[in-house]
Amino acid sequence: MAFPLLLLLLQSFISYSTTKPIILPLKNQKIPSMSLPKPPNKLFFHHNISLTFSLSIGTPPQNITMVIDTGSELSWLHCKKSPNTQNFFNPLLSSSYSLIPCSSQSCQTQTRDFPIPPSCDSAKLCHVILAYADESSTEGNLASETFRFGDSAVPGTVFGCMDTSFSSTPLEDSKNTGLMGMNRGALSFVSQIGVSKFSYCISDSDPGGVLLFGDANFTWLRPLNYTPLIQISLPLPYFDRVAYSVQLEGIRVSDKLLQLPKSFFVPDHTGAGQTMVDSGTQFTFLLGPVYTALKNEFLNQTKGILKVLDEPNFVFQGAFDLCFRVNVSEPIPALPTVVLMFRGVEVSILGGRLLYRVAGEERGGDGVYCFTFGNSDLVPLEAYIIGHHQQHDMWVEYDLKNSRVGFAPMRCDLAAKRLFFRV
């Protein structure tokens, strides 16, 4: 990052991105059910829907697809040094690729927020291991390369060139070239390119949505309501200091406020209990006592509307134990609204966002649908995580300059059509 030419190019990118936003199509990629593990009664926690966008890297450019993940720092690619480069990046074909030594600043100081510190391999190159909540992991070397998207090129972008991965769902793992880390860490993609804002809008339909770097100054965009990011400077064992951490203050089901102590929503002395906005996690997870209160109130308000799946051992993805039988030939009945009450803003989760049909699970003429809020204690996770399923049809803005996250209801398919097809 110290080379004058690189600084000039980065300054050009930053200047461009602040005057004219970079708008990219965002896709909802569904993983075929045949790739998911299916024990008799329990489906292990995994991601079977990913948010992806396409770009190119290297010289000459290689086309890749990456999952956007606001819950991760380091971007990484599946690397393969062979002629078959489908869903892989081949570093041997790029003249702008370079490996990063252990002695570099990127390896020694900029990785301070990595959960697993980097190590030095036999060639004195920076070796990294990344592990995720679904028990998948990947490892390889820190490297730099030119990333291209929109009309911009960003040389010297630091990322992980990964040659070893472990996943319980290998077909899922292989459908994308890699993952784009977009949290607030020093080596996240948004930190490296220096944008002050980015946003996305996710849709179930085609087009799948929008990913935008820069200001979203559109006359048709509703005013956003913001909640501040929570900062804790002291290192705590269970607090992620570079996550988009906000303050959840309560939950309503329709007009009924869950009667819970405020202390349930505040991180404790270990950092456990923070609330993170995470595009890389599919559903929303709540700590045990809050989850139980929400589950009980939702059951109370849907009595006579939904038929509970009477199978105590059935737990979807290991954390979702509230499931129902719903007639697949009829529309889902009207459901109560779940309102997440953040400091300064409320986010309403409506209708179809509250239930998710489990692929391959049927009972007579009924499909199995599970409540899309899971129990963090069953995963286990030490945090509240707001997943992307609950963010659909919502314009979500990450305002890094002002340390806040903004929300506004939006038909994201229409937003994408306005931006890409000018309708």
pLDDT at 18: 43
Q: Which CATH architecture is the domain 225-420 placed in?
A: Beta Barrel (2.40)
* Residues 51 and 388: beta-carbon distance below 8 Å: yes
Do 412 and 210 touch, CB atoms closer than 8 A? yes
CA gap 238, 279 in Å, rounded: 20
Res. 43: pLDDT tops 60: no
For residue 284, give the H/E element and its range. Answer: strand 284-286
Instruction: Out of 7-21, 73-87, 226-240, pick the least confident.
Output: 7-21
pLDDT band at residue 208, thresholds of 50, 70 and 90? confident
Domain with CATH 2.40.70.10 in the chain: 31-195, 225-420
Q: How many CB atoms lie within 10 A of CB 217?
A: 7
Average pLDDT over residues 219-246: 94
More confident residue, 174 or 115: 115
pLDDT at position 63, please? 92
**Architecture label for domain 31-195:** Beta Barrel (2.40)
User: Taking residues 251-274, what's their average pLDDT?
Assistant: 96
Q: Sign (positive/negative) of CA torsion 48, 341, 180, 163?
A: negative
d(CA 53, CA 24): 7
Q: How confident is the model at residue 16 (pLDDT cuts 50, 70, 90)?
A: very low
pLDDT of residue 21: 87
pLDDT per residue over 91-146, tens digit each? 999 999 999 999 999 999 999 999 899 999 999 999 999 988 777 789 999 999 99
pLDDT at 182 over 50: yes
Lowest mean pLDDT among 16-25, 71-80, 252-261: 16-25
376-392: per-residue pLDDT in tens? 999 889 999 999 999 99
pLDDT at 36 over 60: no
Question: Looking at per-residue confidence, does 45 or 201 come out higher?
Answer: 201
pLDDT, residue 19, reads 59
> What is the tens place of the pLDDT at every residue in 290-342?
999 999 999 999 999 999 999 999 999 889 999 999 999 998 999 999 999 99
More confident residue, 259 or 208: 259
Binned at pLDDT 50, 70 and 90, residue 44 comes out as very low
What is the set of active-site residues?
Answer: 69, 278
Judged against a pLDDT cut of 50, whether residue 74 lies above it is answered with yes
56 strand-pairing partners: 63, 148
Instruction: Band the pLDDT of 201: cuts 50, 70, 90.
Output: very high
**Strand, coil or helix: what is 385?**
strand
Distance CA 155, CA 152 (A): 10
Q: Work out the end-to-end distance of the chain between its first and last CA atoms, rounded to an integer number of angstroms.
A: 41
Query: What integer is the mean pLDDT of 153-175?
Result: 73
Q: What integer pLDDT is reported at residue 14 of this predicted model?
A: 40
